[in-house]
Structure 1
Amino acid sequence: MRQLYIKQKVFSLSGKFSVKDQEENEVYFVEGSFMQIPKTFSIMDVACQEVAMITKKTFSFLPTFFVEVHGQEMVTIKKEFSFLKARYSIDAAGIEVQGNWWDMDFEVYRNEELIGAVSKKWFTWGDSYQLIIVEDEMEPLLVSLVVAIDCAKAAQSATAAGGGA
């Protein structure tokens, strides 16, 4: 079992931040595209090899994010039409997210087996998340899932601030 920590830089225009292990060593680097359509986030390992890509679908009625891990589409996060409260769905073959994923407190299962858990750290400057990885081979997917959910939350906040739905 391994623990990783994701702490975003609050005022970063390009969306650059790193994922660290328990000893504060950088394990992954996340870099968002700046002024680019479609908006993307690339996740690279310490050897600067891309392990995952998150893409926000352009020209979509409702925000949709695609997560690719090692070049394979693994997860889709999509806003659902709702009048009262923002609702999103997560669609991934064999992957199930249980808990309050919108508040970043959830567990991830593959074929009903626990593969990881996420919890938001409070009283920190910016968003900070603890990611517990149970299955090592699922690490890039779990990191990507946390970043993608955070992207969806940021898009929702931007929409709400602009007065849209």
Structure 2
Amino acid sequence: MSLANTNTSFNSVQAATGLAFELRRNAFGRLVFIDLEGHEYEGAIPVRSFPVSAPDQGISVVSSDGSELAWIDKLSDLAPHLQAMIEEELASREFMPEILRIVGVSTYATPSEWQVETNRGVSTFTLKGEEDIRRLAQSALLIADTHGIQFLIRDSKALDKPSRKILDRFL
């Protein structure tokens, strides 16, 4: 990317959002953050501040050493190409399947084997103990399996009746 193109991109990004940076991918597919002065930070990482309650708000872009390079109040404030790059990077780093339905459990005592339908397909995991089910804002829950994978129930009240009945036995 030439410096002239970079400045044009900066001007359009800055005018639309007040932000002054550009992103690109290097030959290895790593994200490169370019600030207004043209300094490049290879291996930049976008990080959500509130991944469950406000996934599109409060995103920090940090360097590979953890220093903050930019703060983004709302992802929708960015130019479409920047939004796409950040969303792509976040998707490659984050893995939090959302439980849509609880198919069944092996036992109502823990540890128990759970069979669930998620937004990423059917899954089976082991719940070690009730303490691995954490309540979040309103009716959201985060369930950790024995391997450390976090499963999200965005709204427990929106689950079907059999799923809520199973879940209530563990809460």
TM-score, normalized by length of structure 1?
0.24
Name which one, 1 or 2, has greater alpha-carbon Rg.
2
Of Structure 1 and Structure 2, the greater strand share is in 1
